[in-house]
Chain A
Amino acid sequence: MDMSNPVKTASSLPLLSLESLPQRQCATVSAIDWAHLSTPEARRLRELGFDEGVGVEVLHRASLGNGPIACRIGRMTVALRRAVAGAVLVSPVTR
């Protein structure tokens, strides 16, 4: 993702990628950058319930280097690599 030109929402709030979402910060999926994903990755991501408007939250990050992240999506916990998480754009929800 090109960080110098962040995607804007209608209200002009910059979107975060799921990769950079702070742990335990609730958010909703705003968009998924399908072009950055391979076909099997894209399909698996859809099958695991990633879709616009779904609630998401980063639960854990693996410790060793750039390890995968575990996140809650809907009522499910899913592990995915950071490259994939980087393609999921989210907007934080303030509680």
Chain B
Amino acid sequence: MPPVPGAAPLVALVGNPNAGKSALFNVLTGARQKVGNYPGVTVERHSGKLALPDGRIVDLVDLPGAYSLEPSSPDERVTRDFVTGTQVGERLPDALVVVVDASNLDNHLRFTLQLIALGLPVVVALNMFDLAERDGLTLDPARLSTELGVPVVATVAVRRRGLDELKAKLGTIIDEGAAIRLRPSNGTIGEDIVTLQRRARKIAAAATVSEAPVRRWTHALDSVALHPIFGLMLLFAILFVMFQAVFYAGADPADAIAAGFDWLSAQVKGAMPDSVLRSLITDGIIAGVGAVVKFLPQILIMFFFILVLEASGYMVRAAFLMDRVMASVGLSGRAFIPLLSSFACAVPGIMSTRTIEDEKDRLTTILVAPLMTCSARLPVYTLVIGALIPNTKVLPFVGLQGLVMLGLYIMGVVGAFVVALVLRRTVTKGASSGFMMEMPKYQLPRARDLALGLWSRAEIFLKRAGTTIAFTTIVLWALLSFPKPPDGSPVSAVNYSVAGRIANGIEPAFRPIGFNRDIVLALIPAMAAREVAVAALGTVYAIDTTGDKDEAKMAQTLHARWSLPTALAFLMWFVFAPQCISTIAVTRRETNGWKWPAFMVGYLFALAYIAAGAVYWAAIGLGL
């Protein structure tokens, strides 16, 4: 697009990964930022407003970190297309702020040289200048500026150092650049990467006054964090704390949110006469959205840890430690934390796969994430195991119920690994770009960056997934509420509804795996979220759950009505079945279309059906 006359100048913040670009973006734009998506790709577009010293407002866009203008990931492609003016829906930027890590000039200057060669006005932010000094590196920004032929400003984003000078220089280059036209460029660069690299090293050497051995702090920490024994112990200790926090600190806020939605529902019930509209609002929207939103505290706690691990530089170390294990099923070490997060909830797990560079690795990780036993399965497992598995001791201190629970967790992990292995050889086949990445310096995460990160995750979950979730819960409500049975009908409302009829229709298909019609009916509302199955079974068996949730009574009812093979088949179903619209909605968002969520839902239902059937018939065969 041509520049729009009178519009605010467009400036792109661009640089290598780990150059401190996002921290600089956050201090330059403050809270005035917008997160969107580039069309057609799952790359986030971060933009914000920046005021120059002369009062002019500039649109600042934080581009994804890249190593060069030859893209090897969708992120890098967006960066390349943006700075060459070929990104769909974007105009050519008026200037670039190239962010380089002052202690890693050799490497970062190569990309800088490529960017300067594009011909746009450029100012270089020599970022993390303080860390370079701490590392014993003395640099000469003026000399660097002479060598590169563009202004260079030493900055420390996290301490707000050098920002005024950077903004002033930015204003100057925008004015100077107003007359300059971009050289025709389609992203190919005149010089090859090796030549550029050598030039970059020469320039870095010229700008370096003195140099001490590299990064003593990081090396000292790494000798523990990457240690064959202590490193693994540290990793598991961190994960232990993370899961304790998710399950214990997340429980009370989740209950409070559930209570809040109950209260809201009661208020509406008190204020409105009984009608279809009231039922839609309370039983449909409030109950449905509430069932999903109550996972928000756990999701945010999980994301807090993920963001801290990422910002501190530890995440790459965890990936390093676990790469061998993940590689055995065709994934990269980067998949470890997303999959582990999925034990709490697949939603943050899938959202955090963005750190996986390789597209096929990432897709495979997304597709298997729902197999990890998330917290929403626990109420279902607890109810059914409590009701039908005898509370006997297999060994001293080893109860059968606990063993079954453990078995269900293991089934999920084994299932995920087998599926990953199969997918990697079939639908997501292709050369993996492997595991090759920079290990950034350790840094203290900043509260402000964490808060902005958490806010954007919460917003994504509530707004984007929320629209799909709200829509689906209304559809589910309608299926369960209409048509109404005539007055005096012996058939209950649920059984008379469309959902009841669907259950009648598909029940024969589920008979071979031991499911009765009641179960099939309960599975329909449980598409919203797995733990809804507990309440749905209550509705189906007409157990009053309006007062105290009488779980003991539920357990008795199940015990009386279900056989053990049926109960086991039901548990197996919940190990695999994609009974969670939030996961499906987030997968749609993260894969940018319905193709992959449809595939995921299909293969998971197929697996659930086969596994439930196999267990049902095995149990019958064993005479259970």
B70 and A68 contacting across the interface, CB-CB below 8 Å: no
Q: How far is B358's CA from A40's CA once the two chains are assembled, in angstroms? A: 10
B198 and A79 contacting across the interface, CB-CB below 8 Å: no
Chain B residues with Cβ under 8 A from A67's Cβ?
Answer: 320-321, 323-324
Q: How far is B333's CA from A65's CA once the two chains are assembled, in angstroms? A: 14
Q: Does A12 contact B (CB under 8 A)?
A: no
Q: B316 contacts which of A62, A65, A72, A79 (Cβ < 8 Å)?
A: A79
A46 and B197 contacting across the interface, CB-CB below 8 Å: yes
Chain B residues with Cβ under 8 A from A61's Cβ?
Answer: 228
Given contacts A38-B431, A64-B324, contact A49 B436 (CB under 8 A): no
Chain B residues with Cβ under 8 A from A89's Cβ?
Answer: none
B107 and A66 contacting across the interface, CB-CB below 8 Å: no
B103 and A79 contacting across the interface, CB-CB below 8 Å: no
Given contacts A60-B222, A81-B323, contact A49 B72 (CB under 8 A): no
B228 and A63 contacting across the interface, CB-CB below 8 Å: yes
Q: Does A77 contact B (CB under 8 A)?
A: yes
B104 and A76 contacting across the interface, CB-CB below 8 Å: yes
Q: Does B421 contact A (CB under 8 A)?
A: no
| B229: nearest chain-A partner, CB-CB | A63
A46 and B194 contacting across the interface, CB-CB below 8 Å: yes
Chain B residues with Cβ under 8 A from A27's Cβ?
Answer: none
B68 and A47 contacting across the interface, CB-CB below 8 Å: yes
Chain B residues with Cβ under 8 A from A51's Cβ?
Answer: 194, 197-198
Chain A-chain B contacts (Cβ-Cβ < 8 Å), number:
121
**A65-95 Cβ-contact flags toward B at 8 Å (1 or 0):** 1111010101111111101100000000000
| A46: nearest chain-B partner, CB-CB | B193
Scan residues 43-63 of chain A and give those whose CB is less than 8 A from a CB of chain B.
Answer: 43-49, 51, 54, 59-63
A68 and B197 contacting across the interface, CB-CB below 8 Å: no
Chain A residues with Cβ under 8 A from B104's Cβ?
Answer: 74-76
Count contacts on A: residues with CB < 8 A to the other chain: 34
Most chain A beta-carbon contacts within 10 A, residue among B70, B105, B327? B327
Q: B72 contacts which of A44, A60, A65, A75 (Cβ < 8 Å)?
A: A44
Count contacts on B: residues with CB < 8 A to the other chain: 45
Chain A residues with Cβ under 8 A from B219's Cβ?
Answer: 59
Q: Does B231 contact A (CB under 8 A)?
A: yes
Q: How far is B433's CA from A81's CA once the two chains are assembled, in angstroms? A: 11
Q: Does A41 contact B (CB under 8 A)?
A: yes
A75 and B320 contacting across the interface, CB-CB below 8 Å: no
CB distance from A79 to the nearest CB of B (A): 5
Chain B residues with Cβ under 8 A from A41's Cβ?
Answer: 433-434, 436
B222 and A79 contacting across the interface, CB-CB below 8 Å: no
Given contacts A40-B72, A75-B106, contact A64 B321 (CB under 8 A): yes
A75 and B214 contacting across the interface, CB-CB below 8 Å: yes
Chain A residues with Cβ under 8 A from B320's Cβ?
Answer: 60, 62, 67-68, 70, 79
Q: A70 contacts which of B324, B433, B439 (Cβ < 8 Å)?
A: B439
| A78: nearest chain-B partner, CB-CB | B438
| B437: nearest chain-A partner, CB-CB | A79
CB distance from A42 to the nearest CB of B (A): 10
Q: How far is B222's CA from A62's CA once the two chains are assembled, in angstroms? A: 12
A62 and B323 contacting across the interface, CB-CB below 8 Å: yes
| Chain B interface (Cβ < 8 Å from any Cβ of A) | 67-68, 70, 72, 103-107, 110, 193-194, 197-198, 201, 214-215, 218-219, 222-223, 226-229, 231-232, 316, 319-325, 327, 333, 431, 433-439
23 contacts between A and B (CB under 8 A): A40-B431, A44-B67, A46-B197, A47-B67, A51-B197, A59-B226, A62-B320, A62-B321, A64-B324, A67-B321, A70-B226, A74-B107, A75-B103, A75-B104, A76-B438, A77-B218, A77-B222, A77-B439, A79-B439, A81-B323, A81-B436, A84-B434, A84-B436
| Chain A interface (Cβ < 8 Å from any Cβ of B) | 38, 40-41, 43-49, 51, 54, 59-68, 70, 72, 74-81, 83-84
